A and B are shown apart, each in its own frame.
Chain A
Amino acid sequence: MSSPEINSTQQDIDTPPTPLAPAEKGSSLWRDAWHRLQKNKMALLGLVVMVAMCIIALLTPWITVYGYEEQNLLLGASPPSAAHWLGTDTLGRDLLTRILYGSRISLAVGFIATAVALLIGVIYGTVAGYMGGRIDAAMMRLVDILYALPFMIFIILLMVIFGRNILLLFLAIGAVEWLTMARIVRGQVQSLRQQEFVEAAVSIGLGPWAIIRRHLIPNTLGPVIVYTTLTIPSVMLLESFLSFLGLGIQPPQSSWGLLISYGVETMEEYPWLLIFPGLALSLTLFALNFLGDGLRDALDPRASKD
């Protein structure tokens, strides 16, 4: 039993503890996920595009030459030129400037509304999934009811009661989007709750909040992050849609949805007014979708280390 060959397989008999050995940094699931994400070139590209967009959006007031409401009625709608790279609109406003300012609104709506959805959805879903039984049934029926409400009417009502307000728009969209998030998280938590490590936590004596916070929420993060990246584009589309209908952002402020709706009206004469905002929105949606796709694969716990 002392053949060296044997010893090599007894990985389970650990080497005697050496107190001075430096602790090896574990390769966490996150780092594995990051490794896998790096292999997915499209997802990486999506990430780079998104980061670049956010930086540009933040710096917009300092890098633009024109103001977003700065009109040049003499110029009118002009096609792309050296002075106005993406052309101007019918009021002679620089389109590039308006797209950049629009990105601030669109991205902010995307991120803030998604954050609202995330916060409500994760907490609500976790509580429902963990409590189970009647509480779960009651909570999820409420979600079903909200799902059934036509959300356009809901938002129009909000706008009528509280007036037009960008913050309200964020909240309204977030308040609609959390429903799906809650369902996803609840499903996750229900299956996690059966796992032995949650039973182990109970037998240690942990209370429900500690279990939810330490054991359940961290384990739902994978699917949640993925769903989040897929929610952001859908929220941005929603804002575009609302602005398009005249319920969202109002001129002279600008958002991509607004620009697109404007562009549609003048599509025949001044196609660049539709094409460039459309491209900006599409680029963002592509980037986020590729990123979300990549994250889904990277965070899949079933994926091996390769």
Chain B
Amino acid sequence: MSEDTGQNVLSVDDLSISFKTRDGSSKAVDAVNFHIARGETLAIVGESGSGKSVTCYSLLGLIPQPPGVIESGVAQFTSQGQQRDLLRSDKQALRSLLGNKIALIFQDPMTCLNPYLTIGEQLIEPLCQHKNHTREQARNRAIELLQEVGIKNAEARFTSYPHEFSGGMRQRVMIAMALITEPELLIADEPTTALDVTIQAQILDLLDKLKKQRNIALIFISHDLSVVASIADRVAVMRAGKIVEAGKTQQIFKQPRHAYTQQLLASVPSGAKPAQACQPNPQAPALLKIEHLKTVFEQGKAGLFSARPAPTIAVNDVSFELRHHEILGLVGESGSGKSTLGRSVIQLIKPTAGRVQLDGQELTQLSSKQLKPLRQRMQMIFQDPYASLNPRMTVFDTLAEPLLYHRIATRKNVTPRVLALMDDVGLAHAAIRKYPHEFSGGQRQRIAIGRAIATKPEVIIADEPVSALDVTIQAQILELILALVERHNLSMLFISHDLSVVRTIADRVLVMHQGQVIERGDTETLWAAPQESYTQSLLAAVPHL
């Protein structure tokens, strides 16, 4: 990939970076080459640990050294006819480039904004520092830019603090902040990963528009192929520190040459749920019946002189049924109440009103002691496999705990059952004495799934079980979940913000918005003809390959 180096803003050659660890040194970036010209978007795609972020951060001197060591490479940055090797520039020179000619946008805008300064203050800071503007000039420039990135009422918002903005708006502020010095190169590290799908679509549009207007070179780092497809001109696929394939977006997506690229593309969830041997019977009686469920969170306490703040209604009058052997998808954006609904159903949160019936038995009125035998029949899988496993318990302890506690097995005969569980979820027996931190994210989720099915439950509530995982791992875990539902005749409430994932796994779908289920139906029917405008906008915002 070296056609024309004359106009390139940045060209990186033979970049290698390694990190020193206790067990020697590991190569994070291995002989990476790429280049980018103005007005172009280069997407660097890879899974976690592929070295995509390290590559870009090393260019800006943001890699801690030690333990990082830049072993070789040249990164030629061209600006106004001046060439400079970023890897061999001193700190002073880099600082004058960073936040000036080169700008960065991070994944989580909240952690990158100083909560104690107004966004206006933070916006004009680089202008006063790099461009010697007066405060008045800088202020006008900043307000102009805020309007450009789509902040309404920019003049007034100029003095707002970061927490007064929503996630999407904060990301817009971050973009404004990155653009304020008119950079020639913009590096965006997973800028939309933390955002809801409709907001993501807006931010992608905005980035694309700004890039074209200002003729910026945009490096877009992402793990998400479908996001990249809509914005990139060229794509570089990274794996284990190497660029395994690079080329025009069209070509990469239509004719991937490298096996890894093909695997990545195949892992992206798309299309309908594969036909299964045994379909849920629509006439079957409901296993789980939710009626008029309402969960309200009290906010704070009444002060001496102030009334109690209005409570938040997280789940508002939701009714649905879960049938035998059915996977019911529950989709919604963050804050829609979908996680609270899941936790209210399984009685982790006591619902304020309404009924939850498992096989005809009412759960909401039971004490935790009375619930105990019923807990065997209903289990939960959590989103974050790093947080959902006790770090001080081995796989054996974690999997044996429910069996012992419910007296399904005794200390003496529990081991074979634990081993059987490990077979079930695809874990090697040798790992039985290992601790969670020794596993990858996907393997941890397997452990968590093993724990959930240990008591042979009938209902499983899965709260975003694949959201924290890389796309290839996500595909494997989804496959595992489908296989287990089949094998153990499970019924599942599958909660997710990712509509493509839900489509590949769910038989029926509920769409949740502001605490209410606003639309429901068979998955394919709903996809083909969504009735509510909110559902339509959700589906329209899903990025496609």
Are the CB atoms of A27 and B435 closer together than 8 Å?
yes
Task: Determine the chain A residues whose CB is within 8 A of the CB of B393 once the complex forms.
Answer: 214, 218
Are the CB atoms of A6 and B259 closer together than 8 Å?
yes
Per-residue interface assignment for chain B, residues 394 to 412, with 1 indicating a CB less than 8 Å from any chain A CB and 0 otherwise: 1000000110011000000
**Is A48's CB within 8 Å of the partner chain B?**
no
Are the CB atoms of A203 and B346 closer together than 8 Å?
yes
Per-residue interface assignment for chain B, residues 233 to 255, with 1 indicating a CB less than 8 Å from any chain A CB and 0 otherwise: 00000011000000000000000
* A6-B259, A12-B442, A214-B401 known; A199-B380 Cβ under 8 A: yes
Are the CB atoms of A204 and B401 closer together than 8 Å?
yes
Q: How far is the CB of A298 from chain B (nearest CB, A)?
A: 13
Are the CB atoms of A195 and B473 closer together than 8 Å?
no
**Which among B259, B387, B391, B405 is the interface contact of A1 at CB below 8 angstroms?**
B259
Q: How far is the CB of A10 from chain B (nearest CB, A)?
A: 7
Are the CB atoms of B260 and A197 closer together than 8 Å?
no
Are the CB atoms of B348 and A203 closer together than 8 Å?
yes
Are the CB atoms of B376 and A26 closer together than 8 Å?
no
For window 450-468 of B, CB contacts with A under 8 Å fall at: 451, 455
**Is B359's CB within 8 Å of the partner chain A?**
no
Are the CB atoms of B387 and A195 closer together than 8 Å?
yes
How far apart sit A201 and B372, CA to CA, in the bound complex (Å)?
11
**Is A5's CB within 8 Å of the partner chain B?**
yes
Task: Determine the chain A residues whose CB is within 8 A of the CB of B428 once the complex forms.
Answer: 14-18, 21
One of B54-62, B141-149, B418-426 contacting the partner: B418-426
How far apart sit A2 and B433, CA to CA, in the bound complex (Å)?
31
Give the interface residue-count category, chain A: 35 or more
Are the CB atoms of A5 and B259 closer together than 8 Å?
yes
Q: How far is the CB of A185 from chain B (nearest CB, A)?
A: 15
Per-residue interface assignment for chain A, residues 266 to 306, with 1 indicating a CB less than 8 Å from any chain B CB and 0 otherwise: 00000000000000000000000000000000000100111
How far apart sit A13 and B475, CA to CA, in the bound complex (Å)?
11
**Is B72's CB within 8 Å of the partner chain A?**
no
Task: Determine the chain A residues whose CB is within 8 A of the CB of B369 once the complex forms.
Answer: 207
How far apart sit A304 and B23, CA to CA, in the bound complex (Å)?
12
Per-residue interface assignment for chain A, residues 1 to 36, with 1 indicating a CB less than 8 Å from any chain B CB and 0 otherwise: 111011001111111111101111111110000010
Task: Determine the chain A residues whose CB is within 8 A of the CB of B431 once the complex forms.
Answer: 14, 23-24, 26
For window 210-257 of A, CB contacts with B under 8 Å fall at: 210, 214-215, 218-219, 221
Q: Interface SS of chain A: helix, strand, loop or mixed?
A: loop
How far apart sit A19 and B422, CA to CA, in the bound complex (Å)?
11
Are the CB atoms of B405 and A25 closer together than 8 Å?
no
**Is A205's CB within 8 Å of the partner chain B?**
yes
Are the CB atoms of B429 and A9 closer together than 8 Å?
no
**Is B487's CB within 8 Å of the partner chain A?**
no
Q: How far is the CB of B489 from chain A (nearest CB, A)?
A: 20
For window 377-398 of B, CB contacts with A under 8 Å fall at: 378-380, 382-384, 387-394
How far apart sit A9 and B258, CA to CA, in the bound complex (Å)?
14
How far apart sit A18 and B378, CA to CA, in the bound complex (Å)?
31
Closest chain B residue, CB of each to CB of A11: B440
Q: How far is the CB of B261 from chain A (nearest CB, A)?
A: 10
Q: How far is the CB of A80 from chain B (nearest CB, A)?
A: 46
**Is A135's CB within 8 Å of the partner chain B?**
no
**Is B488's CB within 8 Å of the partner chain A?**
no
Are the CB atoms of B405 and A203 closer together than 8 Å?
no
**Is A206's CB within 8 Å of the partner chain B?**
yes
How far apart sit A5 and B431, CA to CA, in the bound complex (Å)?
24
Are the CB atoms of A200 and B451 closer together than 8 Å?
yes
How far apart sit A203 and B349, CA to CA, in the bound complex (Å)?
10
Q: How far is the CB of B374 from chain A (nearest CB, A)?
A: 8
How far apart sit A183 and B493, CA to CA, in the bound complex (Å)?
39
Are the CB atoms of A200 and B448 closer together than 8 Å?
yes
Q: How far is the CB of A198 from chain B (nearest CB, A)?
A: 8
Are the CB atoms of B371 and A205 closer together than 8 Å?
yes
**Is A65's CB within 8 Å of the partner chain B?**
no
**Which among A28, A210, A305 is the interface contact of B21 at CB below 8 angstroms?**
A305
Task: Determine the chain A residues whose CB is within 8 A of the CB of B442 once the complex forms.
Answer: 12
Kindly count the residue-residue contacts between A and B in the assembled complex, taking CB atoms under 8 Å apart.
Answer: 148
Closest chain A residue, CB of each to CB of B371: A205
Closest chain B residue, CB of each to CB of A15: B428
Closest chain A residue, CB of each to CB of B349: A199
Per-residue interface assignment for chain A, residues 171 to 183, with 1 indicating a CB less than 8 Å from any chain B CB and 0 otherwise: 0000000000000
**Is A58's CB within 8 Å of the partner chain B?**
no
Are the CB atoms of A206 and B434 closer together than 8 Å?
no
Closest chain A residue, CB of each to CB of B444: A12
How far apart sit A196 and B465, CA to CA, in the bound complex (Å)?
12
Are the CB atoms of A14 and B427 closer together than 8 Å?
yes
Indicate the member of A12, A21, A199, A218 with the most B CB atoms within 10 Å.
Answer: A12
Task: Determine the chain B residues whose CB is within 8 A of the CB of A6 once the complex forms.
Answer: 259-260, 263
**Which among B383, B405, B432, B438 is the interface contact of A196 at CB below 8 angstroms?**
B383
Task: Determine the chain B residues whose CB is within 8 A of the CB of A19 once the complex forms.
Answer: 419, 429
**Which among B22, B343, B455 is the interface contact of A306 at CB below 8 angstroms?**
B22
Task: Determine the chain B residues whose CB is within 8 A of the CB of A21 once the complex forms.
Answer: 428-430
Are the CB atoms of A197 and B389 closer together than 8 Å?
yes
Are the CB atoms of B22 and A305 closer together than 8 Å?
yes
* A23-B429, A23-B432, A23-B433 known; A204-B379 Cβ under 8 A: yes
Task: Determine the chain B residues whose CB is within 8 A of the CB of A157 once the complex forms.
Answer: none
**Is B157's CB within 8 Å of the partner chain A?**
no
Q: How far is the CB of A176 from chain B (nearest CB, A)?
A: 30
Are the CB atoms of A301 and B391 closer together than 8 Å?
yes
Task: Determine the chain A residues whose CB is within 8 A of the CB of B448 once the complex forms.
Answer: 200
**Is A202's CB within 8 Å of the partner chain B?**
yes
Task: Determine the chain A residues whose CB is within 8 A of the CB of B380 once the complex forms.
Answer: 199-200, 203
* A1-B263, A203-B380 known; A35-B388 Cβ under 8 A: no
How far apart sit A215 and B67, CA to CA, in the bound complex (Å)?
34
**Is B375's CB within 8 Å of the partner chain A?**
yes
**Is B312's CB within 8 Å of the partner chain A?**
no
Are the CB atoms of A205 and B443 closer together than 8 Å?
no
Are the CB atoms of B423 and A12 closer together than 8 Å?
no
Closest chain A residue, CB of each to CB of B389: A197
Task: Determine the chain B residues whose CB is within 8 A of the CB of A9 once the complex forms.
Answer: 239-240, 260
How far apart sit A19 and B266, CA to CA, in the bound complex (Å)?
32
Are the CB atoms of A35 and B22 closer together than 8 Å?
yes
Are the CB atoms of B435 and A210 closer together than 8 Å?
no
Task: Determine the chain B residues whose CB is within 8 A of the CB of A29 once the complex forms.
Answer: 391-392, 435, 437
Are the CB atoms of A27 and B438 closer together than 8 Å?
yes
Task: Determine the chain B residues whose CB is within 8 A of the CB of A215 once the complex forms.
Answer: 390
Besides A23-B430, A305-B23, 4 other A-B contacts (C-beta < 8 A): A26-B434, A196-B382, A199-B348, A210-B405
Q: Which residues of A contact B (CB under 8 A)?
A: 1-3, 5-6, 9-19, 21-29, 35, 195-197, 199-207, 210, 214-215, 218-219, 221, 301, 304-306
6 contacts between A and B (CB under 8 A): A17-B427, A203-B348, A204-B455, A214-B401, A218-B392, A306-B67
Sorted nearest first, the 4 A-B pairs with minimum C-beta distance are A205-B375, A26-B434, A12-B442, A196-B388
Q: Which residues of B contact A (CB under 8 A)?
A: 20-23, 67, 239-240, 259-260, 262-263, 266, 343, 346, 348, 368-369, 371-373, 375-376, 378-380, 382-384, 387-394, 401-402, 405-406, 419, 422-423, 426-435, 437-438, 440, 442-443, 446, 448, 451, 455, 472-473, 476
